[in-house]
Structure 1
Amino acid sequence: MGVPAFFRWLSRKYSSIIVHCVEERSKECNGVRIPVDTSKPNPNEVEFDNLYLDMNGIIHPCTHPEDKPAPKNEDEMMVAIFEYIDRLFNIVRPRRVLYMAIDGVAPRAKMNQQRSRRFRASKEGAELTEEKQRMREEIIQRGGYLPPEEIKERFDSNCITPGTEFMDNLAHCLRYYVADRLSNDPGWRNITVFLSDASVPGEGEHKIMDFIRRQRAQPNHDPNTHHCLCGADADLIMLGLATHEPNFTIIREEFKPNKPRPCALCGQMGHEIKDCQGTAREKQGEHDQFADTMPVAEQEFIFIRLCVLREYLERELTMASLPFPFDFERSVDDWVFMCFFVGNDFLPHLPSLEIREGAIDRLVGIYKDVVHKTGGYLTQNGFVNLERVEMIMHAVGVAEDNIFKKRKEDDVSFYHEHQAPAYLTTGQFAPQALGGRDRPQPVHNARHQAFDMRMQRPSDSSDSRGVKRKAEDSDSEPEPEDNVRLWEEGWKQRYYKTKFDVDVTDEDFKRKVVKSYVEGLCWVLRYYYQGCASWKWYFPFHYAPFASDFKDIVGMFSEFEKGTKPFKPLEQLMGVFPAASGNFLPTTWRNLMTSPDSSIIDFYPDDFAIDLNGKKYAWQGVALLPFVDERRLRAALDDVYPDLTSEEVKRNSLGSDVLFVARSHPLCDFIQELYRGTEFPAELCHGIQGTLNLDDDPILPDKIPSKVLKPSDWERSGQGPWRPQLGFNPNRQQAHLNQSAFRALGERLNGCKKN
C-alpha cells in the first residue's frame, strides 16, 4: 500500500492515533536476571484479550537485520525470533488468545508481488557481492586497510517462503517454544495459543482476519474483546477497520528515518560502500574490543489506536442532509475501498492518484458528492456497486489533466526554491536496469523530495553525520528519460505506447485492462471482508489504466470462478523463485529453472529491467518480469513430481492451525477425551468455537529436525518419553535439558530445569 507514504500520511493527519508503548524491563539482582512477570497488570493501563502476530514481520528482521549484526547461524535466528515474541508478549500481555500466523501459500494475485520481491532480492544480493569484491580489490591495491573478510555463506532471505526446509524447521522450533512458555511462564498459563505455520494456505494477516471473522460470527463472541495485532504493513490498518471491532489496536516498531548503517566493507559509520576509503579505525582505548561493531539501539514500539482513528473518520465522513440514515460502518467500508486506488499488494495505483498529493482527501470529497447523488454507498459486505464507482472514476478522470499539470508546476517550483540540479524528472519513467549498490539509491524526483522535506520532523532532516541534506545529494547518477511527459498534451497516447506498446485508439485493449482492474477491485474487497474469492485470479498487467478510461464498467464483472484451490508449497516456490534460489528446491525441479531444454525456462530470466514509474527508489519501481502461465507450470511439474522424497512430499502438503493449551487451562481435560472431529465447548475457551482434530505428528524430542533443540540435548525420564504440556497431550513428564548445550543458545530459552 505504498507503505511508508500511507503510514506517514495517516499518522500526521490523525496524530492522536499514535501512542508510545510502555515496556517493563527485566531486573538484575545479585547477578541473577529476574524476568518480567507478565501475569501482572499491563503497565500500558489497558488489558488486551487477544494478541495476533503477523510472523513474517518478525522473521525477516530477526534473520537479516538492517541495524545490527546478522545472526551467525540458524540457531541464533530462532533464538532472536523467540526473544522478539517474548518482548511483544511482555508489552501486550494477552489474557485469552495468542495467534501466531506465518505466511502460507498466497493467492495468485499476491504471488506476482512475491515473485517481484524475490527476483529483486536475488539480483541485489548478487550485485552487492560483486560490488563489495570490486571495491575491496581497489582499496587493497591502493594500500587501504580493510578488516579480514568473514568467510560465511550469505543468508538468502528467499528461504522465508512456504515449502523450504527453513520454514519447516521454524514451525517445529515454534512448537517447542510455545510448549516451554506454557509450562514455565505464569503469563502464558491461561491463554490459548494458535500456531498457523507456513503449511497453512493464506497470508498471515488474512489468516488472522479469517479467525476474527469466524469468531465474530459465533453466538458466544464477546463484543468487548480487545484485539492487538502486530505488524508494520499499512494494509493491517485497513484490515483492522474492516473487522468493525470497537477495540482494535495495532502494535508496530516506531519508524525512525535516516537510521545510520555501517559500511558493508569496513564496518565503520559515516559513509557508504561506494565512498569507502579503507581507513583503519583508531583505537579509542585499551578495552576497545567492540570498536568495529556497530552501535545497537533497541527498537521502540508504538500503538496505533484504531478506535481513535474511527472517531476521526466518523467526524470526516459524516454527511448531513442525506436522503437516507447515515451509517458510519458502511462509510468506513467505503473509505477502505477507496484507499485501494492509491496502491495495494494486488493492483498498481492509478497514475493520477498519489498519497503524497492528497489523493485520499480528493477521493473522500468526490465520494461525498456521489453518495448524495446516488443515494447509496459504494460497498456492502464485501461487494462493490460498480455504477457508483464509475461516477467516482469519472470525477477523477475529469481532473486528471489538471493533476498532471499541477504535479509539474510543483516540481518546477521546488526546483527554483531549492536550486536543484540542472535536470528534473517528473511523472512516468522509462525502464532502466537495477544498479548494483549496497542499498537502494534515490532517484532525484523533486516532487517526492518536496513532500518528504515538508513531512519530516526537524530532527529527520539531517543525515547520520549531522549534515543537512542538500538537493544535490546523489546527483551523480544519470536520470532516466521521461518518455511519457504526463503534463503535456498527448500524455495518454504516450503512456499506452510506452507502458503497453499499443496505440491509444485500441479501445479493445484499453477495455481489457480496465476490465481486469475492475475485477481486481472486486477481488481485493472480497479478500478483505470475506476471504479469498479465487486463488487463481491475478491482474495480468504491470501498469494501471487511467481513471478516465473507466467507462461502462457496470457489466464488466459478474462472479469469480468457484472451487479454485491454492498452489502447493513447492509449486509456489517454482512460481516466485529466481533460478539463483533454486537450491531450496529438489534437484529435478531446480533443473527446470536452468536447463535450456526446459519448457518453462522463460519464467526465470537472468536479468530484467526496473521501471521507476515515477518513484524515487529502484525497489519502488516496477520489475518487468514475465507472468507465470499456471497451465504450463503445472504441465512441466507433472514430469518431476515422482522425484520427490517422502520428506519433500511432506513439506509440499497443506496443513492446518495447531492449538496449544497449558495443563492448567480449562480446556485441557476436555481435550484429553477428544475424538477426531469433535467440537469443543465455547464456554471452556473464552467463547472461541471450532472443530479440533488430533495432531498426527505429536511433539516428540526424537522427531524434531530443528537445530535449536536437538534430540541429544534431551534426556528421558524413567517414566517414558517427555511430551510438552499441550492440550492434546495428557502426559506431563518432566523435561531434562543438557545445560551446556542450552546456554550456548541464550538464557531466554532456559525454561526447562534439571531434576
Structure 2
Amino acid sequence: MGIRGFYNWLRQNYGKTLVDLPDVALDEAGKPVFGDPSSPAPCGVSVDNLYVDTNSVVVNCFDLAKKNDNVGLCQAIFDQLDYIVAMARPRRLLYLALDGVVPRAKVNHQRSLRFQASHKMFALNPQNHGTGVNSRESTKVPGLLAPGTTLMVTIGEALRYYVAERLNSRPEWAGLEVIISDAAVPGEGENKIAGFIRQQQISPGYDPTTCHAICGSDADLILLALATHNPNLILLREVHNSFLSDMNPNGDTYDDVEEEDRLRPRVQSAQSQSQAKRQYPQYQRLAIAALREFLGGVLYHYPQQLPNFQTDRAIDDWIFLCCLLGNDFIPSLPALVVQRNAVSLLMKFWQEVYHRRQTYLTRANGEVDLVFLEEILAKIAKFEVAQIPRLFREDLDQYATKKYGKPLRLVWAHNPNLEFPGHPLPVGAKSEVEPAPADANRKSPLVPDVKIPATKPTVVAAVADEDGWLKCQLEPEPEEPGPFARLDETHRKELGREWYYRTRFREIKDGPTFFKALSRAYLKGLCWVYQSFYVDCPSWTWYYPYYYAPLAQDLRGMFKFTVTFDLGKPLPPLAQLMAALPPNTRSHLPRALANLMIDPQSPLIAYYPERFSMDQNGPVMNANGAVLLPFIDLARLDQALTAVYPSLTEEERQRNTLGAPCLITGPASPQVGSLRKLYAKEPDPTKRRPLKPEGGGYLAGRISRDPAYTSGMTINFPLPSSAGTPTPPPLLPSVVGDRSMRAIYHPLSSKAAAKAEARIGAQDQVMVSPPTGGGTPGGEELPTRHSPAKPVVDLVDIVAAQDAFRNPNAPQGLKAPTGLFGRGKRSQTGRGGMGIESGHGGLGRGGLRGSRGQ
C-alpha cells in the first residue's frame, strides 16, 4: 500500500531518523562478503530477525537482467539477497516474502495501474500497434511479476534452491532458520512480514529484546512498523535516484507527457551514470524508535505541552489520520495532498482537538471515537473550501464561466437511463466510455465577455544596482481575480461543491441517497484500511465502489450506522490475473482463460473495454488520475472461470493453488530437533506439531511434513541451461546430500471468527473488532494483540533522536517532552540497547521500558 509523496515528506521533515549505511565489502569477483561475525554489521545494529520484501529485489533484478534470461535473473536475485544478508547479518531468522494474491480492494488498484501502463506504452510508441491496451493481438510482456504466472512459480522454486545451497555451503548461515512465503501464500509481502512480527510478539515465550530489521521500499512499511509498537525494529530502505526529487523538491508530478518525455533522457543519463559506479544499491536505515519519538515530540508540543499524553496512543491516531491521505484501497480527500504539507496539517488539527477534548481518536482493538473524528473533518472541510480553488483554479474558472448567471445550486438528475460510473457497468452493455467530464470542461468555449489570462502577465521595471546602473527586471503583475474568485463566499462554496461532484461523478441520481451511500462507503473504507495495520485482512472481498472520495463536508453527520466486513476468501491466483490484466497481456494466462478477454460472446467481455477514460484529476494529482474502468463482478467472474477450470493442465492447476510458507533450517538451527521429531514420529502430512526450540532461540508456530522433502536429497536449480538440458549452469550447481531440513510452516494468527465488525452506537464510536478467521491459512488461535514487554531501543538511534530534540536549532523548535527523553532515568537493559524509565507522561503500551503515565 503506497501513499504518494509520503517518504519524501518524511525525509524532508524527519531526515535525522535516516542514516546512510556503508557499502558491504566485495570479493575479487564482485560478490558480497559476509564479514567477521564478531565485528559490527554494516547496518549498525545487532539484528536477530531479518525480513526481506523480496518483490522489490525481484523488480530491481528484472531491470538488470537481460531480456528473457531467467537464469541471469535468478542469479541477480541471489546476489542481491547475499548483499542484504551481509549488510544485516541476522543471527536467528531470515524471512523472505513475495507478494501473493491481494484483497479485492487492491485488485482494483492493480487493474487501473496495468491498464494505464498499457495505454502509456502504446501512447509513447504509437508505431507499435500491437502493444496497446486496445489491441486484440497477444503481446508477450516479459516477466510479469504477479501470482499465478510461470515466472513467479519459478522464482519461488529458485528461492528454495538458494536457501538450501547457502545453508549447506556457508558457515555463517548454518544456525539460521529461514521462512519462505512465496507468491502462493496470500497477502502482500509487507503485510505478511508485519503480521508475522505481530504474531510472534504476542506469543508465549517471545523474547522482548529481539531486534527486527525489515528490508523493503514500500512507504506503508513505515506505518506497519509503527503499528507494531515494537521499538526494537529498523527499516533498511534502498536509496533511490534523487534526480527528479532535486529538480522537483515538492514531489509534484509533471502535467503532461511532453514534459515527461523531455526529462526522460536526463533521468536515464543520471541513472546510467549511477549504475556504472555501483554494482549494488545503497541503503539507508530508518530507526522506528527514533521516528516514534520525533512524531511523539511534535504531537506533544504543539501549541503547548498536551496533558495526559501517551506516545503510543498518539501514534495510533496519527496512523489513522494517514488513512485520509489516500492509498491503494481508497482515494484521498480532495484537499489533502501530501506534497502540500497535508500530513503536518492533519497533525495540527489533531492537536487542536486533543487539547480541547483530552481524549484520543482511536482506542484499543480498533475503536474510533467518532466525535473526535467529526471535529477533525469539520476542520478539514473548512480548509477544503479554501484549498480546492487553489488546486483547481483553471477548472473552477471555466465552470463558473459556464454557470454565470445560472442558479448556483445542485440539481439532481431523475432520468433512470443515466448511468453513474461509480458502479459496475451492466454486463452486455456497450463499453465505450466517453471522455471524462473534466476533460470536456477544459475544452468548452468560454463566455466571450469574460477574459481568463492563460499566463501570468509581467511588467518591466527599471531598478538601479549598487553602482547606480539601471537594469530591467521582470516583475509579476497582480493577477486579476478570475470568474470563480469574483463570486461571494457562499456562492464559491456552493459552486465548488457542485463542480466537484458534477465533474467527478457526472449525473447523480437521487442526491440524498447518493451522498449517504458514498459517505458510508468511504467511512467503511477508513475502518478497513486502519484495521489492516493492526490485524489480518478484515475482508478479502470488500472494495471501495467509487473512483473518488467525497468532500469532507459531506462526511459529517454520517456516522449512525453499523458496518460489518465479511472475511471471505482470497481469490485464486489465475482469477486475480483475470481481474487485473488488460487483454494484451493475456499470454500469461492459460488459453481457455485468455479467450474470455477477447471473445465477443464471453460473459466477461464488458470488463475489458476497447476504450476507457483516464481522468487526470487536476495538475497536482496527475500521477494518481482515475482510470474509469468497470468494476468486475466477482460472482460473474467465478462463474465464468469455473466453467473453464476443467480444461486446465496439471501445471496450470498447480499455479492456481494457494499454499503455505515453508520453514528451512540449517544444521545448527535450534529448530532442527523439532523437524527431526516431525519426520520420525508423524507420518501423516496433515498433522501439525508445535515448534520446540533447543539450545536457545524461539520461533512460535506449528509445522507439518513437506511432501516434496526427503532427507539428504539432491536439489537442482529449477531452470534448464541454455542448451535446454536439465543440467544446471556451472554457476548454479546442484545441492547434493542436502543437510538442511524443510517443513510446511503454519503461523500463528488472531482469534478465529468469521467477521470483523465496525459498530457505531449510541456513544458515537466505531468499534472495529479484530478480524477473525485468520488471514493466514491454517493459523493457530491467539489472544488479541498486545504490546511486547520490556522492549529495548537501539542505543545509536535513540541517542541521535535525543540530540536532535535537545538541539536548540532543531526544526520547528522541538524539545523533548518530559518522560520521552532525558528527564527519565536510564537503565541498561542488555545487548546493544537501553531503556528509559519515564518520570512523567508515560509512553503507553509497547513503548520504552518504564511506568505508564499517571
TM-score under structure 2 length normalisation: 0.66
2-structure distance, mates of 1:32, 1:306: 32
How far did residue 640 of structure 1 move? Answer: 0.6
One-letter code aligned to 1:623: V
Q: Does 1:536 align with 2:541?
A: yes
The 5 Å alignment of 1:373-388 reads 373-380=356-363, 381-388=365-372
Shifted more, 293-302 versus 325-334: the winner is 293-302
Cα separation, partners in 2 of 1:552 and 1:4, compared to 1, 3 Å: closer
1-structure distance, mates of 2:261, 2:351: 51
Cα separation, partners in 2 of 1:132 and 1:498, compared to 1, 3 Å: same
The 3-state SS of whatever aligns with 2:221 is helix
Q: Match for residue 738 of structure 2?
A: 724
1-structure distance, mates of 2:68, 2:197: 37
| Structure 2: gaps of 5 or more residues | 131-137, 246-258, 266-271, 397-435, 441-453, 457-483, 744-854
How far did residue 551 of structure 1 move? Answer: 2.1
2-structure distance, mates of 1:328, 1:351: 29
Q: Match for residue 37 of structure 1?
A: 35
Q: Match for residue 104 of structure 1?
A: 100
1-structure distance, mates of 2:264, 2:369: 57
Count of matched residue pairs: 615
Return the match for 1:580 from 578, 584, 598.
584
1-structure distance, mates of 2:5, 2:560: 34
Contact 2:715 2:736 in 1 (8 A): no
Q: Match for residue 161 of structure 1?
A: 146
2-structure distance, mates of 1:684, 1:54: 29
Cα separation, partners in 2 of 1:640 and 1:702, compared to 1, 3 Å: farther
Q: Does 1:353 align with 2:336?
A: yes
Contact 1:701 1:722 in 2 (8 A): yes
How far did residue 636 of structure 1 move? Answer: 1.1
How far did residue 609 of structure 1 move? Answer: 2.1
One-letter code aligned to 2:145: I
Contact 1:38 1:90 in 2 (8 A): no
Q: Match for residue 246 of structure 1?
A: 231
The 5 Å alignment of 1:32-431 reads 35-37=33-35, 39-41=37-39, 42-65=41-64, 70-131=66-127, 156=141, 159-258=144-243, 295=276, 297-298=278-279, 299-318=281-300, 325-380=308-363, 381-407=365-391, 430-431=438-439
1-structure distance, mates of 2:554, 2:568: 30
How far did residue 643 of structure 1 move? Answer: 0.9
Return the match for 2:564 from 543, 559, 562.
559
* Deviations, residues 600-626 of structure 1 (Å, cap 9, x unaligned): 101112342221112468643221111
The 3-state SS of whatever aligns with 1:46 is coil
How far did residue 317 of structure 1 move? Answer: 1.7
Q: Match for residue 9 of structure 2?
A: 9
1-structure distance, mates of 2:218, 2:129: 34
The 3-state SS of whatever aligns with 1:27 is coil
How far did residue 83 of structure 1 move? Answer: 1.1
Cα separation, partners in 2 of 1:6 and 1:527, compared to 1, 3 Å: same
The 3-state SS of whatever aligns with 2:96 is strand
Shifted more, 612-621 versus 207-216: the winner is 612-621
The 5 Å alignment of 1:621-636 reads 621-636=625-640
Contact 1:51 1:97 in 2 (8 A): yes
Q: Match for residue 706 of structure 1?
A: 719
Cα separation, partners in 2 of 1:708 and 1:188, compared to 1, 3 Å: farther
How far did residue 168 of structure 1 move? Answer: 0.6
Shifted more, 197-206 versus 113-122: the winner is 113-122
* Deviations, residues 285-316 of structure 1 (Å, cap 9, x unaligned): xxxxxx99984644311111211111111211
1-structure distance, mates of 2:541, 2:244: 40
Cα separation, partners in 2 of 1:85 and 1:292, compared to 1, 3 Å: closer
How far did residue 323 of structure 1 move? Answer: 9.8
One-letter code aligned to 2:522: Y
How far did residue 180 of structure 1 move? Answer: 0.9
One-letter code aligned to 1:171: G
Shifted more, 157-166 versus 50-59: the winner is 157-166
How far did residue 36 of structure 1 move? Answer: 3.8
One-letter code aligned to 2:381: G
Cα separation, partners in 2 of 1:664 and 1:511, compared to 1, 3 Å: same
How far did residue 52 of structure 1 move? Answer: 0.9
The 3-state SS of whatever aligns with 1:639 is helix
One-letter code aligned to 2:388: F
The 3-state SS of whatever aligns with 1:430 is helix
Shifted more, 488-497 versus 207-216: the winner is 488-497
Contact 2:184 2:658 in 1 (8 A): yes
How far did residue 224 of structure 1 move? Answer: 1.9
Cα separation, partners in 2 of 1:551 and 1:723, compared to 1, 3 Å: farther
Percent identity over the alignment is 34
Q: Match for residue 698 of structure 2?
A: 687
The 3-state SS of whatever aligns with 2:344 is helix
The 3-state SS of whatever aligns with 2:702 is coil
Shifted more, 683-692 versus 195-204: the winner is 683-692
1-structure distance, mates of 2:293, 2:84: 27
How far did residue 389 of structure 1 move? Answer: 1.4
Contact 1:97 1:191 in 2 (8 A): yes
TM-score under structure 1 length normalisation: 0.75
How far did residue 504 of structure 1 move? Answer: 9.5
| Structure 1: gaps of 5 or more residues | 135-152, 261-270, 278-290, 413-427, 433-444, 448-481, 730-755
Contact 1:668 1:728 in 2 (8 A): no
2-structure distance, mates of 1:519, 1:84: 40
Return the match for 1:548 from 534, 542, 553.
553
Contact 2:674 2:693 in 1 (8 A): no
How far did residue 189 of structure 1 move? Answer: 1.6
